[in-house]
Structure 1
Amino acid sequence: MVVIILPLVVLPIFLIGGLIGYIATNQAYVGLTEASKADLDHMASFTLDLLDGHHRQFEVYRQDKKKIIRQEMKSLVDLAYTLINEQQRQYDSGNIDLKAAQQSARNSFKEVSIGSSGYLFALTSKGILTVHPAQENDNILSAQDKNGHFFIREIIKRAIKSKPGEVIYTIYPSRNEKLGDQHPRNKIVAFRYCPKWDWIVAAGGYLDETYDDPEFEKSALRTLSQQIKNKKVGKTGYIYCMSTDGTMQIHPDAEGKNLFATQDSNGRAFIAEMIHNKDGWIRYPWKNKDEKKARMKIVRYRYYKPWNWIVAVGSYEDEFYQPANDLKWRIAKYVLLLPLVIGFIAAMLVFLASKVLTDPIQKMITVIRRVKQGRLDEQMPVEGRDELG
């Protein structure tokens, strides 16, 4: 009887438990996937906010410094103009001739420096440099910047049309080989026209030496980079930022490297794909150096336009599915143990029930056998009032 009843009890429990386990595990995977993707998306948004905050803060710093530098350059131009007026008065008084007056002004100009390589200079409306540290007396009317723009002609045109006392500003890319420039650098120039001498007095300085302040920006970027690196995604996931040429700007161990052509374990150029799409999700198998096999990685990436960067937040699937895997094994353990326990209890109950039902019959059979053997004094004890009693 136990052999017949036990499977009827245990098998349904196995089936129901397995079904419940499958549904629960599946729901856990779905829930964890949604929660993990939401976390990755949140981390990507958080990183974009960090970048944007840094960008805005530095822009405010630059604008403030720009105002200060422009004011300083205006002061230098006004000072140069005052020097010219003073020398003009000396000339008008007959104390010196015009050539000496201009030479005195020229000498005073050359004593002024702006940044590490900026300077005061002057040129005529015909483009002849009357004051310059390296090109004095050169005609630069046809000089062009790296974009082919005749910036000297524009300066002259704007200066002649300016109002009396007006200081004008311009920015252009400049590379002066005579001053040792290896590459073009953006230069800011403040200038003012002096009609008496036909001089355009100008103060010029390079942006990277004035209000660009690359050292400050590098320092701020290092702080930002450390903030981003300190944010962990799962156990071993991380955040990284790259420019659209594939150079890692912020990365735990590949900073400064160009990984544009990097491929995953299946030969897929996932970095190039991310740069092409700029915004989205991507899954790919990735094997780290200290690991024996590749693991599936999911990455949320977004584009940060002001810096032309891609922000990526990645995590390994086996890490954020770990709770679901743990749940699956716990359910499997219970599905195996519970039927065994219930089966054991059921078997004991069946055994006890069968014993209660069959013991009186066995006793009656024993008495009948003894009576047949001639033992007529045997009696059947009556313990109940039913048919078996």
Structure 2
Amino acid sequence: MIRNMKIRNKMFVAYACAFLLIFSVVGIVIYALVTNIIQESIESELSRTTEMIQNMVHTTADVSIKNYMRAVAEKNLEEAKQLYRQVRRGRITEQEAKQRARESFLSQTIGTTGRIYCLDSDGIMVVHHKHSLLDVDLSGLPFVKEQIRRKTGYIEYDWKEPFEKKVRPKAVFMAYFEPWDWIISVSSYRDEFIQLINVEDLNKRLFSLGFGKSGYPFVLDYDGKMLLHPYLEGKHYGEYGDPKLSAIARRIVEEKNGHFDYLWKNPGDTELKEKVVYFMDIPEMGWVVASSSYYEDFQAPLEAVKFIFIGALLVGLLFMVPISMGIGSLITRPLNELQIDLARAADGDFSVRMRQFSNDELGILVQYFNTFMEKLEEYSSSREKEIAVRRDAEQKLIAMDRAKTLFLASASHELRTPLTSILGFLKLMEKSFQKQFRSHIETLANGEVQAERFARNLSIVRIEAERLGRLVNDLLDMSKIEAGKMEWRDQTLLVQDIIVRAAESVAGRAEATPKVDFVVRTPESDAAVNVDADRLHQVLINLLDNAFKYTELGSVTLSAVEAEGVSHFSVCDTGRGISEDDREKIFDIFYQAHDVNKRSSQVLGTGLGLAICQQIVEHYGGKLKMIPAESGGSCFIFSIPLSDKEIV
């Protein structure tokens, strides 16, 4: 039905639905935000009030404790002064005065377990009820250091007696009697002074912190007795007469810190109402302070938001009807003409141009469309020319690649013949020099040096010629692989035989490096693979040759393991390893890893060996991978599918 309606009606329906949807979403979001703000306001206010109560109790306790302990310390200081005055008058000896002071100090108890003790300026205990601590140097204790530094005043620290399981806050007030160098210290645990707090005075100050219409703070002790409360003061939660209300107070006492919602009924209320409470404990006093309030005290703004939203929705709907109809008629009139021109453009007529009938958004759209069609027409023409140019360039690139491949194959083949002759004559020259000429040259003046230099230079020429030969062979193999002309003479071979042949081929190299152990591990089964023996041998020899090149001490391991229908070949060494930057590039053509040990003058390569090995392994559906060895070297691993054919 909607699909067949006129556009102006569709627009009205669309506008109405969009308006209702947006207005509803916005209203819900606003309502949720206001609710959240009110909730956060309640929680913030309750939390802040609870912290204020906690701080107020702490402050009251601090003042009471300090005043009490100051009075005790000053009283005992005055007693010491009176005894000292008697010494000055000659009535008693100083030793008798000190003894009387000790007896007086030790006879006093501060709180439940608190005592009076005295230290001198060096931290030596001169008065203490425990004889084992007398004349003991306690200057290493942090709080004693502070007492020595200050000598007078109030300090707090955490302390645990040997028989106690946890530390507790302790308070000390100090007075200094200079003639005897005594720091008179009145000491006790803070939690033993709860009786010093004036609850009545605290009650007046707490209830001045009320908020909302019904919010108020209250205080419980750890035993569940209500110390401060507008209605329940002095009652234990077991005496409320309502199990539900008692359970709320019990939960506050058990959790000690936190907040939660609950249902509560104050005297005079007819029903339970939702309430929230925030509470914190004061461990040294065994109190839990809390602040609570009814949620209904904060609901008035939500009702106002609800009525404003409904009124705005009705007014918006009334104004929307004529506006949507008028806009619809302005749009539908020019659309018929636009449809005709768009249909021509859609059929591929890039020369079509629309007639501009206004300067509004539709008129601007016509300008953009006409500009687009001009660009499209130009692009269509240039694209055809570009396609022709690219096609010609592609043909030239193909021809150049073929020429490169043919050149490498031809040049490599032509270079192998003279290089073979050069290597033969160089080996013959080395042999003849050693057997026939060297002994004659060494008889001449400075002949030994000249002979050795000649032999070394001849060896360098031979080594470089062999390297050039390997490069030519690698280039020829690479060109054959790229051209798809590599000949593969596959046959079924035992994996054991492949490993043994490779090991025998590098036996001489292994003997020439006595500091490197050559380890060969062959599979115990008669596993076989269908491969070109020479090509697979080429891969293993190349990997082994690289392993011996870059391993000066340790071991080189050649192994093959059968698993899940494939044979895993690996060559591992304990050499210098390959840096992380080079691991992804070592299989690229002509790439050589960075020589971190600066052995470039000793270890040379063509940069083609690993690339050719990768091509050979990929021919058999495998992938040559390099992983760092646990010993710090490198492991090259590849897999070849096992063959189910019989060995010929």
TM-score (norm 1): 0.50
The equivalent of 2:280 in structure 1 is: 302
Task: Confirm or deny that 1:39 pairs with 2:42.
Answer: no
Is the CA contact (8 Å cut-off) linking 1:48 and 1:304 kept in structure 2?
Answer: yes
Is the CA contact (8 Å cut-off) linking 2:212 and 2:297 kept in structure 1?
Answer: yes
The equivalent of 1:19 in structure 2 is: 25
Q: How far is the alpha carbon of 1:274 from its aligned partner? A: 0.9
Task: Confirm or deny that 1:318 pairs with 2:324.
Answer: no
Trace 1:205-216 onto structure 2 (pairs within 5 A): none
The equivalent of 1:223 in structure 2 is: 201
Is the CA contact (8 Å cut-off) linking 1:244 and 1:309 kept in structure 2?
Answer: yes
1:177-228 CA-to-partner distances (Å, cap 9, x unmatched) read xxxxxxxx999999xxxxxxxxxxxxxxxxxxxxx897x853xx32322111
Look up the SS of the partner of 1:291 in the other structure. coil
Is the CA contact (8 Å cut-off) linking 2:217 and 2:229 kept in structure 1?
Answer: yes
Distance 1:52 1:224 in 2: 11
- What is the one-letter code of the residue matched to 2:279? Y
**Unaligned stretches of 5+ residues in structure 1:** 87-161, 174-184, 191-211, 354-389
Task: Confirm or deny that 1:56 pairs with 2:62.
Answer: yes
Change (3 A) 1:12 1:217: closer
1:46-87 CA-to-partner distances (Å, cap 9, x unmatched) read 111111111111111101211244356668999999xxx89x
**Unaligned stretches of 5+ residues in structure 2:** 118-192, 330-648
Look up the SS of the partner of 2:212 in the other structure. coil
Which of 27, 34, 43 is the aligned partner of 1:28?
34
Q: How far is the alpha carbon of 1:256 from its aligned partner? A: 1.9
Distance 2:266 2:311 in 1: 33
Q: How far is the alpha carbon of 1:244 from its aligned partner? A: 1.3
Distance 2:306 2:267 in 1: 30
Q: How far is the alpha carbon of 1:283 from its aligned partner? A: 1.0
Distance 2:101 2:53 in 1: 45
Is the CA contact (8 Å cut-off) linking 2:218 and 2:289 kept in structure 1?
Answer: yes
Relative contact order, CA 8 A, sep 6+: which one is greater?
A: 1
Distance 1:26 1:268 in 2: 33
Change (3 A) 1:80 1:251: farther
The equivalent of 2:312 in structure 1 is: 334
1:28-53 CA-to-partner distances (Å, cap 9, x unmatched) read 22233233212221111111111111
Change (3 A) 1:279 1:342: same
Look up the SS of the partner of 1:55 in the other structure. helix
Trace 1:96-245 onto structure 2 (pairs within 5 A): 164-168=99-103, 169-170=105-106, 217-218=197-198, 221-245=199-223
Which of 248, 272, 280 is the aligned partner of 2:250?
272
Q: How far is the alpha carbon of 1:172 from its aligned partner? A: 7.7
Distance 2:286 2:45 in 1: 24
Look up the SS of the partner of 1:41 in the other structure. helix
Moved more, 32-41 or 298-307: 32-41
- What is the one-letter code of the residue matched to 1:51? V
TM-score (norm 2): 0.32
Is the CA contact (8 Å cut-off) linking 1:263 and 1:271 kept in structure 2?
Answer: no
Is the CA contact (8 Å cut-off) linking 1:40 and 1:300 kept in structure 2?
Answer: yes
Is the CA contact (8 Å cut-off) linking 2:9 and 2:325 kept in structure 1?
Answer: no
Larger radius of gyration: 2
The equivalent of 1:105 in structure 2 is: none
- What is the one-letter code of the residue matched to 2:288? I
Q: How far is the alpha carbon of 1:285 from its aligned partner? A: 0.8
1:264-306 CA-to-partner distances (Å, cap 9, x unmatched) read 7956701111101111112101122322322111111000122
Task: Confirm or deny that 1:253 pairs with 2:226.
Answer: no
Look up the SS of the partner of 1:306 in the other structure. coil
Q: How far is the alpha carbon of 1:322 from its aligned partner? A: 3.5
Instruction: State the identity %.
Output: 18
- What is the one-letter code of the residue matched to 1:167? R
Q: How far is the alpha carbon of 1:262 from its aligned partner? A: 4.5
Distance 1:79 1:9 in 2: 101
Change (3 A) 1:268 1:63: closer
Which of 260, 274, 280 is the aligned partner of 1:282?
260
Provide the aligned length of Structure 1 versus Structure 2: 242
The equivalent of 1:65 in structure 2 is: 71
Is the CA contact (8 Å cut-off) linking 1:233 and 1:313 kept in structure 2?
Answer: no
Distance 1:228 1:280 in 2: 20
Moved more, 282-291 or 322-331: 322-331
Change (3 A) 1:347 1:164: closer
Distance 2:217 2:273 in 1: 17
Change (3 A) 1:165 1:66: closer
Task: Confirm or deny that 1:293 pairs with 2:271.
Answer: yes
Q: How far is the alpha carbon of 1:27 from its aligned partner? A: 2.1
Change (3 A) 1:80 1:213: farther
Distance 1:268 1:348 in 2: 65
Q: How far is the alpha carbon of 1:313 from its aligned partner? A: 0.8
Is the CA contact (8 Å cut-off) linking 1:263 and 1:269 kept in structure 2?
Answer: no
- What is the one-letter code of the residue matched to 1:246? G
Is the CA contact (8 Å cut-off) linking 2:238 and 2:246 kept in structure 1?
Answer: no
Is the CA contact (8 Å cut-off) linking 2:61 and 2:194 kept in structure 1?
Answer: no
Q: How far is the alpha carbon of 1:241 from its aligned partner? A: 0.9
- What is the one-letter code of the residue matched to 2:27? G
Change (3 A) 1:165 1:13: closer
Distance 2:304 2:242 in 1: 28
Is the CA contact (8 Å cut-off) linking 1:239 and 1:311 kept in structure 2?
Answer: yes
1:311-349 CA-to-partner distances (Å, cap 9, x unmatched) read 101111222344234323322332233323444x55996
- What is the one-letter code of the residue matched to 1:55? A
Change (3 A) 1:306 1:267: closer
Change (3 A) 1:37 1:264: farther
Is the CA contact (8 Å cut-off) linking 1:74 and 1:167 kept in structure 2?
Answer: no
- What is the one-letter code of the residue matched to 2:63? Q
Distance 2:82 2:232 in 1: 46
